[in-house]
Structure formats: structure tokens, C-alpha cells
Copies of this chain bind each other. A is one copy, B any other.
């Protein structure tokens, strides 16, 4: 559209535009859930390794301030991913736990793939922390097949 269908590139334009916009929309969508995934994954880790997940611990690990964490935890509670007992730490709901485990799996698989491709462990961990949120189920399965081979 925008210009009449006479221009040479316009013939394929409409489908091209649709596939393009789909990718960008998925990307924006992923961005909205990235933080929630990092939180539940971190909370699961803290509970397993430290026995509890308090706001200050979470803040320290994420590198943000504690009031920032407090506000986000409210959102996570509203979304039924966690419950809170003041001064007793944060706990995952069943739904939160499922999301945490799914995120952890993706994180591990992505990191392992990077390592297998010769990336050094530090870089692999750092890059995986961002990449993990954009890996679809299909891509994840392809990664797992690659690791098994």
C-alpha cells in the first residue's frame, strides 16, 4: 500500500510486510516477559541454594535496588507467580515454579549450545541470560538435538 501497485518491488511487499511485522511483534512480546522469567528463575535458585529468597538477595543478584524488587514482586504476586511472607522471603506458586523450571531449562540448553560452539564459559553465561528469552520451543528442540549429536 502507500503507493499504487505499479512499483517493481510492491508485488511481494504485502506478504513481506506481514512476516516482518510478525517477527517484530514476537520480539516485543518476549521483552514483556523477560523480566518475569529472570525473577522466577532467580527465586528458584535462591530457594534451592540458600533456603530462602528475600528482597535484598534478589536485588543484589539482579543489580537493582531493593524498592525496585519490591515493586516487581507485587506484580509477580498479582500474576500469581509468587506469594510473599514479610521477612520470611518469597515463594513460588505452582505456576511460578513451572515457569521457573521452563526458563531454567532454556537457560541451560542455550548456554550449553554456546559452549559447544566454542564460546568461552563467561561469555556463554552472559549471552545466554539474554538469548534464553527469545528461544521458541521449536528452536529449543533443535538445540537439544544438536547437543545430543
User: How many residues does chain A have at the interface if contact means C-beta atoms less than 8 Å apart?
Assistant: 53
Could you tell me the dominant secondary structure of chain A's interface residues?
A: helix
Given A2-B57, A131-B131, A136-B123, residue A25 in contact with residue B63 (CB < 8 A): yes
Q: Does A76 contact B (CB under 8 A)?
A: no
Given A49-B9, A60-B21, residue A27 in contact with residue B139 (CB < 8 A): no
The distance from the CB of A15 to the nearest CB of chain B, in whole angstroms, is: 12
Q: Does A130 contact B (CB under 8 A)?
A: yes
Q: In the complex, what distance in Å separates the CA atom of A27 from the CA atom of B41?
A: 15
User: Is the Cβ of A127 less than 8 Å from the Cβ of B135?
Assistant: yes
| Chain A 30-60 interface 0/1 with B at a Cβ cutoff of 8 Å (1 = within) | 1100100010000000000110001011001
The distance from the CB of A111 to the nearest CB of chain B, in whole angstroms, is: 10
The residue from B1, B34, B131 contacting A60, defined by CB atoms under 8 A apart: B1
What are the 4 closest A-B residue pairs judged by CB atoms, nearest first?
A130-B134, A23-B129, A21-B63, A27-B130
